[in-house]
DNA sequence: ACCTTATGACAACACCGTTGACCTGTGAAG
DNA sequence: CTTCACAGGTCAACGGTGTTGTCATAAGGT
């Protein structure tokens, strides 16, 4: 077999499956996303997806080389949805903050998909658009090219990494999730001051903080550091 | 079957396998870690682990309820190893930097375990020790309690999130991993300047940067922002 | 109306985690 | 010593997985 996949653009023979469904890459991706959200990340298998579509599992290999290919298509679709609602204003720091928060909440809206795709490079249209936009924001802000790339890399990976981490938490079974919250209240908050002075002194803040994601804080720290760097660069070029 | 697992402490009948190996939870964990290190993350399956140990795969279910159980045992072992080699010096920034990098490389040394445990709160001794140490470092540096907790939370989640993210990349099949590297060279680096000016202008830096983890950069940005915050706080309390 | 061929279907392969039933050596009790 | 309960190793099987070689057929261009 050389390659059973035909590029989406070249497809024309829209032949329905036995159950009357007309397949397409888009339909497959949509169905996969629905499957993941409704029945969990483990619900995504070629066979189950085929069943959900009303098609033989092997038919999907006419559209995607292998499951990994499909994962990338799903990831790109998610990127596209996030980017589509982002409206940059020209204020680099506010724009990046907005985008970061959107990426994070976007991931949390599809936790299982986010967990499976956060670490993938798709090289597809939506991702390319996103990269172009982000680097553009940084360069227009005045960051020299190497610095812009460095900060872009850290920024995007941090958004994806926290998105996946926080998604993993929400994907935990209800019981396990509640149990983890209780560990902070019942274990950490009760440690005696003589053996664990620092935890005891900050217990109240710990319990409060650990209930929520630290991503907004981490994002602000990253942007603050970038701002510092930018001020430094501007001072140098002026002086 | 009620439960085929017997607590490690209660075990006494040390019966060798057909191939003469005497099993134990420790031996299984060690062998699993070796397997991951030597043959990649996807080399770890119950069947392969059984083969590597010289035992029937189903024997392992006498020691661990299921694979997840085994993964957690492995993760627990890793936390211990990381913390055991950390020696704080008193310089808060250097100490946190050192710990962050150790956590990250510790995760990368055993990607599968890192991916499964990054988002879990164990409440066990090693974890508690780590929390106490980190918050202690920040408080001694002069951060007020709410600020110390905020930065601790962002710091530890960042280390865990990047550890898991980068682990996921290395856990990818060889082929997929190489394919991703090629996307930057063959797709991004070849985009024309008229449609994607920002990517075209920074292509060289992008290809170089994307080859490596952005965690060190992200960590330094976080620490820089923390330093800025600390300077600000000190100026206020002095003035 | 014909012919090509894209595309769907089928069957098979080699793997996976997990479990119920079985067998046997171990170690303690008599 | 011998006995004997049973921990712990083994076997075979189940239902799942991704993937591929082969075949059948309907769609579309000529």
CB B72 within 8 A of CB B117: yes
Same domain, A103 and A61: no
CB B199 within 8 A of CB A135: yes
Q: Which of B148, B213, B221 sits opposite A222 (nearest CB)?
A: B221
User: pLDDT band for position A116 (50/70/90)?
Assistant: confident
CB atoms < 10 A from the CB of B146, how many? 13
For chain B, what percent of residues have pLDDT higher than 70?
98
Subunit contact B139:A201, Cβ cutoff 8 A: yes
Same domain, A12 and A112: no
Q: Which of B132, B209, B224 sits opposite A150 (nearest CB)?
A: B209
Tokens for B165, please give them: 């993210």
**Is A169 part of a structural domain of the chain?**
yes
All residues at 6 or more sequence positions from B47 whose CB lies less than 8 Å from its CB, including other chains: B57
Q: Is the CB of B18 under 7 A from strand C?
A: no
Subunit contact B214:A132, Cβ cutoff 8 A: no
CB A133 within 8 A of CB A74: no
DSSP string, B3-37: -----GGG-------TTS----HHHHHHHHHHHHH
Looking at residues A89-106, what average pLDDT do you find? 97
Same domain, B221 and B142: yes
Direct distance between the N- and C-terminal alpha carbons of chain A, in angstroms, rounded to an integer: 64
Looking at residues A73-101, what average pLDDT do you find? 94
Looking at residues B150-173, what average pLDDT do you find? 93
Q: Examine the pLDDT at A40 and tell me if it is beyond 70.
A: yes
The domain total for chain A is 2
Contact list in B for residue A66 (CB cut-off 8 A) is none
Distance from CA of A183 to the nearest CA of B (A): 6
Closest-CA residue of chain A to B148 = A202
In 3D space, the residue among B156, B213, B218 whose CA is nearest the CA of residue A225 turns out to be: B218
- Comparing A166-170, B180-184, B216-220, B235-239, the range with the smallest average pLDDT is B235-239
**Is A70 part of a structural domain of the chain?**
no
Rounded Cα–Cα distance for residues A202 and A8 (Å):
57
**Is A71 part of a structural domain of the chain?**
no
**CATH code of the domain covering residue A148:** 1.10.357.10
Same domain, A47 and A108: no
All residues at 6 or more sequence positions from A119 whose CB lies less than 8 Å from its CB, including other chains: A160, A164, B165, B166, B168, B169, B172
Determine the protein residue whose CA lies at the shortest distance from the C1' of C24: B15
**Is B74 part of a structural domain of the chain?**
no
Contact list in A for residue B165 (CB cut-off 8 A) is 118-119, 157, 160-161, 164
Same domain, B53 and B106: no
Instruction: For residue range A142-162, list pLDDT tens digits in order.
Output: 999 999 999 999 999 999 999
CB B64 within 8 A of CB B70: yes
Q: Which of B131, B165, B228 sits opposite A199 (nearest CB)?
A: B131
Distance from CA of B23 to the nearest CA of A (A): 30
For chain A, what percent of residues have pLDDT higher than 90?
69
**Is A78 part of a structural domain of the chain?**
no
Distance B13 CA to D4 C1' (A): 15
Distance from CA of A197 to the nearest CA of B (A): 8
Q: Which of A149, A164, A198 sits opposite B165 (nearest CB)?
A: A164
Same domain, A96 and A206: yes
**Is B71 part of a structural domain of the chain?**
no
**CATH code of the domain covering residue B25:** 1.10.10.60
Give pLDDT, residue B23: 94
Instruction: For residue range A195-224, list pLDDT tens digits in order.
Output: 999 999 999 999 999 999 999 999 999 999
Give pLDDT, residue A164: 95
Subunit contact B202:A148, Cβ cutoff 8 A: yes
Give pLDDT, residue A115: 85
Domain range holding B153? Answer: 88-238
**Is B79 part of a structural domain of the chain?**
no
Instruction: For residue range A17-39, list pLDDT tens digits in order.
Output: 889 899 999 999 999 999 988 88
Dihedral over Cα of A88, A92, A93, A97: its sign: positive
Contact list in A for residue B228 (CB cut-off 8 A) is 224-225, 228
Rounded Cα–Cα distance for residues B143 and B225 (Å):
13
Instruction: For residue range B107-145, list pLDDT tens digits in order.
Output: 998 887 888 788 888 787 888 999 999 999 999 999 999
Give pLDDT, residue B180: 85
Instruction: For residue range A2-21, list pLDDT tens digits in order.
Output: 577 877 777 666 788 889 89
- As a whole number of angstroms, the longest Cα–Cα distance in chain B is 76
What distances in angstroms separate CA A222 from CA A72, A183, B11, B118, B225, one per listed residue? 28, 29, 51, 21, 7
For chain A, what percent of residues have pLDDT higher than 70?
97
**Is A92 part of a structural domain of the chain?**
yes
Instruction: For residue range B60-115, list pLDDT tens digits in order.
Output: 999 999 998 898 888 878 888 888 999 999 999 999 999 999 999 999 988 878 88
Same domain, A55 and A102: no
Same domain, A55 and A92: no
Nucleotide nearest to B7 (CA to C1'): D7
Same domain, A91 and A178: yes
Same domain, A221 and A116: yes
Give pLDDT, residue A12: 65
Same domain, B149 and B115: yes
Q: Examine the pLDDT at B209 and tell me if it is beyond 90.
A: yes
Contact list in B for residue A164 (CB cut-off 8 A) is 161, 164-165, 168
Same domain, B123 and B166: yes
DSSP reduced 3-state for A87: coil
């Amino acid at each position: 077999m050389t390659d059973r996949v035909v590029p989406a653009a070249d497809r024309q023979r829209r032949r329905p499956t036995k159950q009357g469904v007309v397949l397409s890459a888009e339909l497959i991706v949509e169905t996969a996303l629905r499957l993941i959200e409704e029945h969990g990340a483990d619900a995504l298998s070629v066979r189950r997806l085929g069943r959900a579509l009303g098609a033989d599992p092997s038919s999907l290999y006419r559209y995607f080389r292998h499951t990994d290919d499909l994962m990338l298509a799903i990831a790109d679709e998610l990127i596209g949805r996030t980017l589509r609602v982002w409206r940059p204003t020209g204020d680099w720091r506010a724009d990046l903050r907005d985008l970061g928060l959107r990426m994070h909440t976007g991931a949390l809206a599809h936790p299982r998909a986010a967990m499976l795709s956060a670490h993938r490079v798709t090289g597809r249209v939506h991702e390319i658009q996103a990269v172009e936009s982000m680097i553009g924001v940084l360069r227009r802000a005045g960051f020299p090219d190497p610095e812009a790339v460095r900060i872009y890399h850290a920024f995007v990976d941090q958004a994806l990494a926290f998105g996946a981490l926080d998604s993993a938490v929400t994907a935990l079974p209800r019981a396990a999730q509640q149990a983890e919250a209780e560990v902070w209240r019942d274990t950490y908050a009760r440690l005696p001051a003589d053996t664990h002075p620092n935890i005891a002194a900050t217990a109240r803040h710990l319990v409060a903080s650990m209930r929520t994601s630290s991503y907004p804080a981490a994002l602000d720290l990253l942007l603050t550091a970038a701002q510092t760097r930018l001020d430094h660069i501007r001072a140098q070029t002026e002086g």
